[in-house]
Amino acid sequence: MFSYWEKDLFMPNYDFIVVGSGFAGLWLAYFLKKKKPGAQIAILERGTLPQGASTKNAGFSCFGSPSELLANVDKIGWQTTLDLTENRFQGIQIIKTFFGNTIDYNPCGASELFFDEEKFEAAHSKMEELNQNIAENVKSYYHFYLDKNIIQNSGFAGFKYAISNNQEASIHPGKLFYSLYKTLISMDVKIFFGTKVTGYNTEGEKVIVKTENLGDFTTSHLSLNTNAFTGDLLPEYKIKPGRGQVLITKPIEGLTFDRTFHFDQGFYYFKNVGNRVLLGGGRNKDLQGESTLDFAVTENIINHLKDILKDNILPGKTFEIEDTWSGIMAFNESKTPISQILKPNLSANVCMNGMGVALAPTLSKKLAEELTSNG
Ligand SMILES: Cc1cc2nc3c(=O)[nH]c(=O)nc-3n(C[C@H](O)[C@H](O)[C@H](O)COP(=O)(O)OP(=O)(O)OC[C@H]3O[C@@H](n4cnc5c(N)ncnc54)[C@H](O)[C@@H]3O)c2cc1C
């Protein structure tokens, strides 16, 4: 039951209600408020913190490794792949411009590593075509090159080849969340944590948004930014969850690398975090089992990651694991996000298909522009 004061302050008729406080929802609320400073905006988040991928990820501000981009080209064609790359690139510029000083932004560059001659050749033989297409179609400069020294200089074993770029970077995703959160509070966006949306009705003059614990909210426009958890709210879209498991070691003396690394079409990723190694991925070991909304870590994936640490990333070094966790991503067959107005009073900004750190600011900015284009 709300008091008069609580109702007066927290339960007005909102202009926009955003469901989900991951990067998509936070950036959307930010750009909506920028466009319409007088608008009443609320974010409803079921977790006490974001409870999806945004504060669970590896903190790579990445656009896609060559083998990952080329696999996308095979599936969705050059134009869609390049459009996504451009959107990711622009997203990173937004992050850097707004919060470059507060999120441990490190323009360290990235390398894709290869164990296997055949897979390397498949990527290397198309590297120049990829560079040329990026140069011609992606507004920002982004260039891959064969890197002959990085494997030896980093002390890795087993990896034979590397393709690098100097444009990707590393961030602290928790600090990015917190920077956005503080900014939104200062802009008078109301954020309700621990508030799960259970349904909504868009038929009337106002949208009625039903919550598990705070009753009904009303709004002129409801935007779902619920990524992998969109199924119950928009069942007609076929969005598949993909769990990502991550481990981080305790600090290790003598780590010589400071880049972000990917291998196996982006299924594995690692980087140096304060002389610890963060390593995540391995979903491809059990694609069916990892297609789940359950935030668990499993012995088979974590042991597999530990083996990679021991054999390939830290050969001959002793290490201890400090922490493990998981987050949930969202995928669909078309590998493209759904960021669109579905009805005048309902929109979706979901299904980031991985790499949403970079994608979310651009998609949210465009959606906010569309939603406010009529004054
Ligand atoms: C392990 C891992 C590593 C990753 N590494 C990277 C990386 O290095 N670089 C990169 O670019 N991307 C990475 N990603 C992907 C990236 O984190 C995501 O694409 C991005 O964070 C998605 O943001 P989002 O806001 O769309 O979704 P989310 O962050 O999942 O946010 C959705 C929010 O909606 C809330 N919600 C859902 N349903 C409801 C409801 N009914 N009511 C109220 N709230 C609800 C959830 O609790 C959640 O907080 C990684 C992901 C994982 C899991």
For the stretch 198-240, pLDDT in tens is: 999 999 999 999 999 999 999 999 999 999 999 999 999 989 9
Q: Is 64 in the pocket of ligand 1 (CB under 6 A)?
A: no
**Highest mean pLDDT (candidates 2-6, 64-68, 360-364):** 360-364
Q: Is 357 in the pocket of ligand 1 (CB under 6 A)?
A: yes
Nearest atom in ligand 1 to the alpha carbon of residue 242 is: 53
Q: What was the pLDDT predicted at 284?
A: 94
Instruction: List pLDDT tens digits, range 280-324.
Output: 999 999 999 999 999 999 999 999 999 999 999 999 999 999 999
- Summarize the confidence of residues 320-340 as an average pLDDT: 96
Q: Is 91 in the pocket of ligand 1 (CB under 6 A)?
A: no
Q: Is 242 in the pocket of ligand 1 (CB under 6 A)?
A: no
Average pLDDT, the chain: 95
**CATH architecture for the domain at 240-331:** 2-Layer Sandwich (3.30)
Nearest atom in ligand 1 to the alpha carbon of residue 353 is: 19
Q: What was the pLDDT predicted at 63?
A: 87
* 375, pLDDT greater than 70: no
Q: Is 229 in the pocket of ligand 1 (CB under 6 A)?
A: yes
Helix runs in the chain, H state only: 4-10, 23-35, 66-99, 117-124, 127-137, 150-154, 173-186, 299-308, 356-371
Residue nearest to atom 21 of ligand 1 (CA): 54
- Summarize the confidence of residues 32-61 as an average pLDDT: 97
How many Å lie between the centroid of ligand 1 and the Cα of residue 92?
A: 16
The CA distance from 37 to 219, in Å, is 16
Residues of the chain by 3-state class (helix, strand, coil), percent to 5: 35, 25, 40
| Domain extents in the chain | 4-56+175-238+334-371, 240-331
The full DSSP string for 218-281 is EEEEEEE--GGG-TTT-TTS--EEEEEEEEEEPP-TT----SEEEETTTTEEEEEETTEEEEEE
The CA distance from 211 to 135, in Å, is 47
- Summarize the confidence of residues 60-85 as an average pLDDT: 93
Residue nearest to atom 32 of ligand 1 (CA): 226
Residue nearest to atom 4 of ligand 1 (CA): 57
Which residue among 198, 223, 229 is best mutated to probe the pocket of ligand 1, counting the most ligand atoms within 8 A of its Cβ? 229
Nearest atom in ligand 1 to the alpha carbon of residue 244 is: 1
State the pairing for strand pair 190-192/41-44. parallel
The answer to whether the CB of 178 falls within 8 A of the CB of 125 is no
Residue nearest to atom 8 of ligand 1 (CA): 60
CATH of domain 4-56+175-238+334-371: 3.50.50.60
Instruction: List pLDDT tens digits, range 163-206.
Output: 999 989 999 999 999 999 999 999 999 999 999 999 999 999 99
Q: Is 22 in the pocket of ligand 1 (CB under 6 A)?
A: yes
Q: Is 263 in the pocket of ligand 1 (CB under 6 A)?
A: no
CA angle 97, 103, 108 (to 5 degrees): 80
The answer to whether the CB of 350 falls within 8 A of the CB of 227 is yes
Burial grade of 235 (CB within 10 A; 0-12, 13-18, 19 or more): exposed
Is the pTM higher than 0.75?
A: yes
